[in-house]
A = this chain, B = another copy of it.
Amino acid sequence: METAERRQILKQSLVAAAARTIERRGLAALKARELAEAVGCAVGAIYNVVEDLDDLVLAVNSRTLASLEGALTAAGEPEKGRASRGSDAAIGQLVRLSIAYLDFAAAHRSLWRAVFEHRLPRRLPEWYLEEQMRLFGYIEEPLRMLLPGTPKGRRALLARTLFSAVHGIVTLGLEEKLHAIPPDALREQVTFVVSSIGRGMLRRA
């Protein structure tokens, strides 16, 4: 095998091992020595294929975002068999995206938490920022229908704000600290708040 190919395979194994550790024991449990043992390489070999462990976490988080995107794509499609008005359809789409986000977070708590907990000691690379931005695009689509004529920059900011609101509900709702909210009640709350936002936007617009 070529060296480049071997490095690529080692990197993939390390990313998979890091994802398993984060999934089972959380971001803080990630240690170079254990990763090296898990993939059967020397500790030093890790730093031949990545700059540091943060690089591995970025790669894991990128996989998590890709898997979230899969869930959002399914949820973002227009409902079949129901002909609803444009604005109702857009509100329904926002609600489905939010519920998909909630379900994803509940099903992959540790991996999902790592996306937000991880602090890169340098600027996030452009490719990673672009992946995040692409996800906001899913929210911008129904917003385009609810708030026609809103400039692109403002719509992008609003998509991010709506995401943050749903993220807050999901995070604090799943958290045990303040009594966790039962899953069905949490879904109902997300639905009520997101559809209220949608209707309220229309009322202003």
Contact = CB atoms under 8 A, between A and B. Distances in A.
A84 interface: no
Given A161-B169, A196-B201, A132 B189 contact: no
How many copies of this kind of chain does the complex include? 2
A7 to B, nearest CB: 29
A85 to B, nearest CB: 14
A161 B197 CA distance: 13
Interface of A is mostly: helix
A157 B197 CA distance: 17
A44 to B, nearest CB: 29
A200 B94 CA distance: 14
A49 interface: no
